[in-house]
Amino acid sequence: IFYAFFLVPTLILSVLNVHPFNVPAWKSFAFFGAGILGGFVVFKLLFSGPAYDAGFPVGAAIPTAIYQIFVITYAEESFFRGFMLEVGSRRGTGFGIIVSAAFFSAFHLAAYSLGGLNIVAFGFAFVMGILFGFIYLATRDFAGIGLVWGLHAAFNLVLLFG
């Protein structure tokens, strides 16, 4: 339910007829598919090598993957890139990227710091927020949120499933 609050700014913008992504849904989903497939291969090779081990039963993996793809990463990308980055970019592109990356990393600090404050994970999430911000700005006119959403989903799935 917490992730539903990330979609509120996007819904408000939709009601006001202000759409940060002026891209047809099919195009955004096509780039999402490309992002998740390409991102999965890249992140898998970078972080865990070519071997595959799900780590837990498939019965739990499928609902977790669906939730990661269609709730968590979509809500985060809609909020941090589609809303915060767009609003922050009104004060300059660099400002928008830094602010959205800072909030993205602060949000993830709680998840990465279950055993105590994890500054390395905070820094890593900040760098990923900057990279996702640049990718979003470079592709938003033809891919909407699709490509960065797919890359984010692929990254999370590789972290979860190895």
pTM: 0.76
Residues of the chain with pLDDT under 70: 1-23, 48-59, 111-116
Q: According to the model, what pLDDT value does residue 133 have? A: 95
Question: Model confidence over 47-63: pLDDT tens digits?
Answer: 765 554 545 455 677 78
Structural tokens at position 128: 């990923």
Residues 6+ apart with CB under 8 A from 17: none
Q: According to the model, what pLDDT value does residue 1 have? A: 47
CB environment 87-96: b (16+ within 10 A), e (fewer) = ebbeeeeeeb
Question: What whole-number distance in Å separates Cα of residue 21 and Cα of residue 24?
Answer: 8
